[in-house]
Amino acid sequence: MIEIDNKLYDFIIANKCSLMNEWLDALGDKSALFYASRKMEQAEDLWREEDDAFIAIISRVLIKEHGEYFEELERWVSTTASAGARNSVPLHLLVSQLGMFRRIYWSYVKKFFEEEPSATSRDALEWSESINDSFDYIIGKFTVEHHKAHEKMLKNQQLMINELSSPVIPIKQGIAILPLVGDIDTHRAKVILETALEESAKQKLHMLFIDLSAVAIIDTMVAQQIFQLMTSLRLIGVRSVLSGIRPEIAQTAISLGLDFQGIEVHANLMRALEVHA
């Protein structure tokens, strides 16, 4: 049994270049999508070397070399799946192309079985179990890694959007404007609070105009966050001025029992700036 397994392993390794080329030919134009992400991040000889190694790694299951098998396999899967996610290669396409590779890999196993007189049906059944288990593991792990990389990318993009959507814009020495636009949920309100405090300290502000004229809806939690921001600003020596509060926002604040005493409020930003010109 061990001898025939070693023969199959040697056969696959000896034919790994033709196996890889046959896979790329079968993919046709779609191969460009599979490798586009990696071409952007690696030289061609590097990712081809990785794929040659991948064939060797997955074939080790045939000779029961499981020592570093999963570690090396996971490294390849993580690298390829993450690169695909970063460069917007669809998961279904990547998985279907792995399925194509699986079929071609099996065609070489079949070829060996037909040409090797000492191979038995029992050998074929054991190879089927080992190889299919390996490919199932790869595809499952590939899906998980792609999803993780995609979620991380979306999270980073959302964080960047939130930071860009709450800019502290300096208008003169020690004075800046924080124009808020669009809907504000609890998460974004937290980002606004953190960004405003950080930028106020960084820019050494003593006054910050917070304009809400482009904010249509604020829920109770967000209203509390804005008042918390103003309290926090006061603690670091920054005077805050509110402008552009819509009637519905004012009603929300009043219903919460939020105290506007001691807070300077103006109908719009222009009026607030005129007062402090």
CA 149 to CA 152: how far, in whole Å?
5
Who contacts 64 (Cβ-Cβ below 8 Å, separation ≥6)?
A: 5
pLDDT digits (tens, 9 = 90+) for 117-128: 898 999 999 889
pLDDT in tens, the chain (277 residues): 578 888 998 999 999 888 888 887 877 655 545 555 444 444 445 456 666 777 888 888 787 665 566 777 778 788 877 777 777 777 888 788 888 889 999 999 999 999 998 989 999 998 899 889 888 888 888 888 888 888 888 887 777 776 666 789 999 999 999 998 877 877 788 888 888 999 999 999 999 999 988 887 777 777 778 888 888 999 999 999 999 988 877 787 777 777 677 788 898 999 999 988 7
209, containing H or E segment:
strand 207-214
Q: Is 211 helix (H, G, I), strand (E, B) or coil?
A: strand
- Determine the 3-state secondary structure of 47 from DSSP: helix
Instruction: Report the C-alpha gap between 129 and 106 in whole angstroms.
Output: 12
CB 263 within 8 A of CB 228: no
3-class DSSP assignment, residue 29: coil
18-65: per-residue pLDDT in tens? Answer: 888 888 787 765 554 555 544 444 444 545 666 677 788 888 878 766
**Residue 55 · residue 19 · CB < 8 Å:** yes
Cα separations (Å) of 59 from 3, 18, 113, 196? 15, 15, 15, 56
Which residue, among 54, 93, 97, has the nearest Cα to 73 in the 3D structure?
54
Domains detected in the chain:
2-161 (1.10.490), 169-275 (3.30.750.24)
> 119 Cβ partners below 8 Å, 6+ apart?
4, 8, 112, 113
Asked whether the beta carbons of 30 and 92 are under 8 A apart, the reply is no
Distance from C-alpha of 267 to C-alpha of 242, rounded to nearest angstrom: 9
Question: Can you tell me which residue has the tokens 């089927």?
Answer: 128
